[in-house]
Amino acid sequence: MADSNVTSLFRSTAAHSPSMAALARESDGTGPVDFCIPCNPYFPTPAMFDDMAARLREIITYYPSSADTITAELCNLLQLPPSCVAMGNGSTELITWIDHLMVRESLAIPVPTFGRWTDQPMETGKRVDMFPLQESNGFVLDLTQYAEFIRKRNTKVAVICNPNNPDGGFLHKQALVQFMDAMADLDLIVIDESFLEFADAEVEPSVVQEAMLRPNVVVLRSLGKNFGLHGIRFGYLVANPALAGRIRSMLPKWNLNAFAEHVVFILKEHGAEYAQSLQQVRRDRLDMASHLSALPGLTVYPSQGNFLFVRLPVGAEGTVVRDRMLTEHRILVRECGNKIGSSSRFLRLVVRPQTDVRRLVTGLEQVLYGTRRGAAVPELGTGTNYSSGTAAVDRLVGATNGAGMQNLAAQALGTGTSGIGMPMPAAAQMQPQPVPMQVPQPQQPQPQPQFQPMVAAAQVQQMPMTGMTGMTDQQSNGVGMPMQAVAQMPQQMAQVPQQMPQQMPQQQQPYGAPAPAPAPMPPQGPTPTGVPARNGLTAAQVRGATSPNGMQNLAPAPATGWPNAQSWPNAAGMGQAG
């Protein structure tokens, strides 16, 4: 696989990695070892694949049953009332309809997270209030601070991913129930449980039962990730009958394909194998975290998903590591520089069997430290930036919190080929020291902590959360730029090369230090539905403007909610189906 082909593939998919099909077409027809796409490597079983292969002609020749028929079978398996369930052609279809039908003007979401929760509402003109998860605190979500953040901005919809993607952060059920109680007056609360089947920190962590009883809660669940069948595209949501029915009424009668129907109808015969596959993923997660933590300078964050979020050693550029792992070792990893709130110093690595993990570790050793083949990833020179795909968006979060920023594209273009990556603070230029996690005091610089691999779930919940320390309401109250700024854009764009050197030092403050307050902005009303947020950029424009090279070059507990080894408990935990 040629280096140039690899580069072009990733440039053409600014928000995501290229598909396995695209990668296979650029090689000998077979894809690389996949540490990128988070699905179950142990399910379906070989026998299930054989069954689908034998019935391929029948499956693809005829129309599937209606979505109502397939949903009824899934609900029979899960012991859920069909009136409370809507099945979609992948969870992203359901996210799209949730946005169109239930998000009036604003949505809050912790970042980094799954990109469709930020991109989809921005694309339809909603204000997205992004709550930054702090690297200095291991990306732990503090629900109390998140609730305060929502109140300050008068946000109408709140989203929580549990576990969160890409870091695998987990919240216990009782904490989520308390959050739902506190936010009962919101238009909507969405709990995205797409990866919850892989968690083992709690026996029954799902809030599906709560969703069916509450007027403003929707739980989103995946099937493709759990079953290792991303290509089929199927998922479902659970809510009270009114909310679920509202979504169902908008979906096409045949929005689910025949492969999805076939899998749903044979699941009852394979409950034990599915439960065993989840247990094996959990064991592999522990083993993989242990091996990765042994690599010098690599930080592995605690995870309850089927993936691990890792920070590369100082000096390692994620895009370089990604490309070399693919071209030299035929291993695909997820570099997270284009995830809002992350940077190219982070990778998300999917949990895979031990044989593949040994190959991954060997490849990382060679790329990061220069053993056997090729030179080590070079140390960054003084003043060199990590090429973050979201550094400008991080500034957008600080200044207008997702409401749009005029002049953003011009700022990106004015930085040359190094992009607008955020310079690493002085504290981040050092290897993490073995110091205990502490709550940062206001106005005090915060040292970068040493994270231990695979912290127990109870310990994770006790970690303090660094909030919006030093951020004024004017920095993060979600309002957009004043309209006068629109008229001044030609002059602002011409001044960008001179402005950037003055702006960049602001990013070099130590972690925890207060950010300088911006000039006051006059308050504005909510963004009307369908109107671009404060004349800001769309999600696609934001990602394009903040790519590394700018716009010019874009080219074991029981299974949760599903079966244990003997049966298929329903997703709400209210009984069992034999």
DSSP string, 211-261: HHHSSSEEEEEESHHHHT-GGG--EEEE--HHHHHHHHTTS-TT-S-HHHH
Measured between alpha carbons, how far is 381 from 315 in angstroms, rounded to an integer?
A: 9
Measured between alpha carbons, how far is 351 from 354 in angstroms, rounded to an integer?
A: 9
Token digits for 352?
Answer: 């895979």
- CA angle, residues 512, 382, 542, in degrees to nearest 5: 65
**C-beta separation of 67 from 208 below 8 A:** no
Give the per-residue pLDDT at 287: 98
Give the per-residue pLDDT at 511: 31
Measured between alpha carbons, how far is 139 from 472 in angstroms, rounded to an integer?
A: 21
Give the per-residue pLDDT at 32: 87
Give the per-residue pLDDT at 33: 92
Q: Is 312 helix (H, G, I), strand (E, B) or coil?
A: coil
Question: What is this structure's pTM?
Answer: 0.67
**C-beta separation of 435 from 450 below 8 A:** yes
Q: What is the pLDDT of residues 390-411, one digit of tens each?
A: 333 344 444 444 443 333 333 3
DSSP 8-class letter at 488: T
Greatest alpha-carbon pair distance for the chain in Å reads 70
Q: What are phi and psi of 33, to 5 degrees?
A: -65, 125
Give the per-residue pLDDT at 443: 42
The one-letter code for the residue type at 298 is L
Q: Residues in the chain with pLDDT < 50? A: 1, 379-578
Give the per-residue pLDDT at 230: 85
Measured between alpha carbons, how far is 550 from 542 in angstroms, rounded to an integer?
A: 10
Give the per-residue pLDDT at 488: 43
**C-beta separation of 1 from 330 below 8 A:** yes
- The helix (H) or strand (E) run that includes residue 364 is helix 354-369
Give the per-residue pLDDT at 320: 94
CA 144 to chain CA mean position, Å: 21
Scored b (16 or more CB within 10 A) or e, 412-440 reads bbbbeeebbbbbbbebbeeebeeeebeeb
CA 495 to chain CA mean position, Å: 35
Pairing of strands 33-35, 106-111: unpaired
Give the per-residue pLDDT at 258: 94
Q: What are phi and psi of 577, to 5 degrees?
A: -105, 125
Measured between alpha carbons, how far is 146 from 504 in angstroms, rounded to an integer?
A: 28
Measured between alpha carbons, how far is 237 from 41 in angstroms, rounded to an integer?
A: 24
Q: Is 501 helix (H, G, I), strand (E, B) or coil?
A: helix
**C-beta separation of 168 from 309 below 8 A:** yes
**C-beta separation of 227 from 263 below 8 A:** yes
Cβ neighbour number for residue 453 with a 10 Å cutoff: 20
* Cα dihedral 264, 265, 270, 273 in deg (nearest 10): -10
Per DSSP (E only), the strands in 26-122 are: 33-35, 85-88, 106-111
Measured between alpha carbons, how far is 297 from 463 in angstroms, rounded to an integer?
A: 22
- The helix (H) or strand (E) run that includes residue 56 is helix 56-61
